[in-house]
Amino acid sequence: MANLEHIFDLYEFIHDDIKFILKSGIRLKILTSLADGPRLIREIKKEHELSFATISNNMRLLQNRGLVTKVNDYYHISQTGKFQINHVLDLMKSMAVTKDFEDLWLNHNLSGISEDLLLNIGVLSDSILIKADNKDVFKPYSKFYNVITNANWIKGISPFFNPADHDLFNEISKKGVKIDLILTDEVIEQIVKTIKLKDLLKEITTVLNNNLSLWRYDGEITVGFTVTDKCISLGLLNTNGSYDQNRDLINSSSDAREWGERLFNDYLSKSKKLSAVDMASYFIRK
Amino acid sequence: MDINETISLLDEVHEDLKFIAISNVRIKIMISLNFGPKNLKMLRNETNMNSSTISHAINQMEKRNLINPRTEFYSLSSPGKIMALKLINTIMVFSALKNHQKFWMEHDICRIPEQFLRCMGMLNESSVIESTNSNLTKPLNTYLELLSQERTIKCVSPIFFSHHIESVTKILKEGGKVDIILTREVMESLLENTGEEKLESCLKSSRLNLWLCDDDLGVAITNTPRFFVLGLFSVDGTYDFSSVLLSHNSDAIRWGYELFEYYKKRSKKVDIKKLTFI
């Protein structure tokens, strides 16, 4: 990314245009309509319940800026206009994601999500935030259980270890569901510690089994994340470093799933697949 | 997204968006804090604004959860960080558009995949080569001249022109490596012009790789380690030879490589054995 001074220079160059498009809700409404197709003034009037004078005043300003052109009585959006309104809509979606799920972001650690992905966070705008409450303290977990048991394939990244998940994943992978899990060194060690010697052989067989792959991530993991063929589920660490088990964001749109696969691949590219030998060496260390 | 959804989104967030994006003071503070926590003195120096203006703005932003409650240093909250990144991106993208407004306006930029339009700020450091009355083929000649000095190229070619084949053939003859993504139509013209045998021997050498893309290829790009060239279609659907965007900047080159990879994922590699079926 460019440095601070360069961004300030570009901001000087552009701030008039940014203000012009963002300031007026009326102009944003007009551009939204025109992005859908050419319109007559009276059609816009009907769509947005605005007065004729308000529309025509703003239309003139939009024309002066080259965002709109008039052909016969029809107003058309220009390429620049279309580009700018699309960009602003995306900006608004991101704003909605930060506002609607403020609980999830505020006082939580975002460092586990790349800037590229944060820029595309608008794709999460139609998510559901599952929150634990007094009536159901395990709500996020039971939702997560649903996500896992309904999937045809599962890719997960986890900073923590839950013995119950371990059995659950083993069960599911036996049914033919392909599972890839990215874990930290520490978590893998914990898993191995819970294995009894007589189960080690079985465990190694499971790791060798193509359906379940474990990956060791070299570094700190600050997201609890799952993407499946159906949806994504995202949880974060609190700023104090503990995992927040009380909040989980769920989204099943295809854009969100694509976003989720990019997040998974970011981690995968920095992970190493565990072999049976790796597992055994963890066991010996214990 | 239909109009009603858009309008309700607008109603929901317009006030908040205006709050951060209309004020010079707040935007500058957010940009500045995006590069790390700062104390008042550092903010004053960077933004050239006085302490009371900055403090006032920060108080307001704190109330809206954009800035963390004050310790010695001010820092962005997680929602604040997301919006700071979006604002910087907006500044970069709008500048890239304004820098070469005529070039973008004259072409069908809607055929560039949306995620690439969103990071168009990477194209800020580039120039437009236009044809003039005395030199109608200036964009093409500039491009071919640059190409003649390269050994490794990656192209997305929705159009066919024989000059290009000559240049590519020369690169291959001199031991270079060429990757091209093309449409079925261009592939047919290529077969017709070079002949099956010659194309087959090029492909066998594995220094030429071809991918066939059945998706809409709305851009013509060439990437080399040293430059990036972008040509576009006019809104009426014809390819426009009269101007191209050229950049030697590393961000622009990366943008081009990523776009190449984007199309590659949506293409099938051309198999030597199946040439005759095309």
DSSP A159-211: SS--HHHHHHHHHHHHTT-EEEEEEEHHHHHHHHHTS-HHHHHHHHHHHHSTT
Q: What are the two backbone dihedrals, phi and then psi, of residue A181, each rounded to the nearest 5 degrees?
A: -120, 130
Together in a domain, B154 and B238: yes
Together in a domain, B71 and B148: no
Pairwise CB contact (< 8 Å): B104 & A110: no
Contact B26, B84 (CB under 8 A): no
Put simply, whether B94 touches A (Cβ < 8 Å) is yes
Domain residues for the domain of B81 are 3-94
Contact A18, B28 (CB under 8 A): no
Put simply, whether B92 touches A (Cβ < 8 Å) is yes
Put simply, whether B103 touches A (Cβ < 8 Å) is no
- Residue B127 corresponds to which tokens in the numbers above? 């120039």
Put simply, whether B82 touches A (Cβ < 8 Å) is yes
Together in a domain, B162 and B89: no
The mean pLDDT of B66-74, rounded to a whole number, is 89
Together in a domain, B69 and B176: no
**Unique residue bearing structure tokens 């858009």:** B6
* Closest residue on chain B to A115 (Cα): B85
What count of residues does chain A have?
Answer: 286
Q: What are the two backbone dihedrals, phi and then psi, of residue A80, each rounded to the nearest 5 degrees?
A: -60, -45
Total number of domains in chain B: 2
Pairwise CB contact (< 8 Å): B97 & A84: yes
The domain boundary, picked from B60, B78, B94, lies at: B94
Whole-angstrom distance between the N-terminal and C-terminal Cα of chain B? 38
- Residue B73 corresponds to which tokens in the numbers above? 């240093």
The domain boundary, picked from B36, B59, B94, lies at: B94
Mutation site, B5, B82, B115, interface A, largest A CB count within 10 A? B82
Give the span between the Cα atoms of B153 and B226, in whole angstroms.
10
Together in a domain, B241 and B267: yes
Together in a domain, B257 and B131: yes
Partner residue facing B12 (CB), from A82, A96, A121: A96
Pairwise CB contact (< 8 Å): A87 & B93: yes
User: DSSP label at A274?
Assistant: P
Together in a domain, B66 and B145: no
Instruction: Give residue limits of the domains in chain A.
Output: 4-89, 101-285
Together in a domain, B164 and B183: yes
Give the span between the Cα atoms of B226 and B26, in whole angstroms.
38
Separation in Å, CA of A254 to nearest CA in chain B: 14
Minimal CA–CA distance to B29: which of B67, B3, B2, B63?
B67
Contact B232, B218 (CB under 8 A): yes
Cβ within 8 Å of residue A197, ≥6 positions away: none
pLDDT of residue B70: 78
Helix (H) or strand (E) holding B120: none
Q: What is the pLDDT along chain A (286 residues), one digit of tens a residue?
A: 578 999 999 999 999 999 999 999 999 999 999 999 999 999 999 999 899 999 999 999 999 999 999 999 999 999 889 999 999 999 999 999 999 999 999 989 999 999 999 999 999 999 999 988 888 888 888 888 888 888 999 999 999 877 777 778 878 888 889 999 999 998 888 877 777 666 767 766 766 667 888 899 999 999 999 999 999 999 999 988 888 888 999 999 999 999 999 999 999 999 999 887 887 787 777 5
- Residue B117 corresponds to which tokens in the numbers above? 């339009």
Pairwise CB contact (< 8 Å): A32 & B10: yes
* Closest residue on chain A to B86 (Cα): A119
Separation in Å, CA of B192 to nearest CA in chain A: 37
Separation in Å, CA of B17 to nearest CA in chain A: 7
Count Cβ atoms within 10 A of the Cβ of residue A197 and give its class: 0-12 exposed, 13-18 middle, 19 or more buried: exposed
Pairwise CB contact (< 8 Å): A79 & B79: no
pLDDT of residue A17: 94
Prediction ipTM score: 0.90
Q: What are the two backbone dihedrals, phi and then psi, of residue A36, each rounded to the nearest 5 degrees?
A: -80, -20
Give B231's strand partners. B220
The domain boundary, picked from B44, B60, B94, lies at: B94
Pairwise CB contact (< 8 Å): B13 & A92: yes
Together in a domain, B215 and B111: yes
Instruction: Using DSSP, state whether A6 is helix, strand or coil.
Output: helix
* Closest residue on chain A to B68 (Cα): A107
Other C-beta atoms closer than 10 Å to the C-beta of B123 total: 25
Q: What CATH number does residue B232 fall under?
A: 3.30.870.10
Q: What CATH number does residue B73 fall under?
A: 1.10.10.10
Partner residue facing A83 (CB), from B1, B7, B117: B117
Minimal CA–CA distance to A184: which of A251, A112, A79, A92?
A112
Task: State the fold for domain A101-285.
Answer: Endonuclease; Chain A (3.30.870)
User: DSSP label at A239?
Assistant: T
Together in a domain, B178 and B235: yes
Of A1-5, A208-212, B105-109, B144-148, the poorest mean pLDDT is in A208-212
Pairwise CB contact (< 8 Å): A121 & B82: yes
Other C-beta atoms closer than 10 Å to the C-beta of A220 total: 13
pLDDT band at B3 (very low <50, low <70, confident <90, very high): confident
- Side chain identity at B197, as an amino acid letter? E
**Tally of CA atoms within 13 A in the half-sphere of B165 that contains its CB:** 17
Q: What percent of chain B has pLDDT over 70?
A: 99
Task: State the fold for domain A4-89.
Answer: Arc Repressor Mutant, subunit A (1.10.10)
Contact B97, B104 (CB under 8 A): yes
Instruction: Classify strands B219-223 and B228-232 as parallel, antiparallel or unpaired.
Output: antiparallel
Partner residue facing A80 (CB), from B91, B105, B117: B105
Give the span between the Cα atoms of B2 and A155, in whole angstroms.
32
Together in a domain, B156 and B47: no
Minimal CA–CA distance to A9: which of B124, B233, B9?
B124
Together in a domain, B127 and B14: no
Give the span between the Cα atoms of A4 and B48, in whole angstroms.
13
Instruction: Classify strands B177-182 and B208-213 as parallel, antiparallel or unpaired.
Output: parallel
- Residue B250 corresponds to which tokens in the numbers above? 């590393």
Instruction: Say if residue B107's pLDDT is above 80.
Output: yes
Q: Where are the alpha helices (DSSP H) in chain B?
A: 3-21, 24-34, 40-47, 51-63, 78-99, 101-105, 114-117, 138-147, 162-173, 184-194, 196-204, 250-265
Partners of A238 on chain B (C-beta within 8 Å) are none
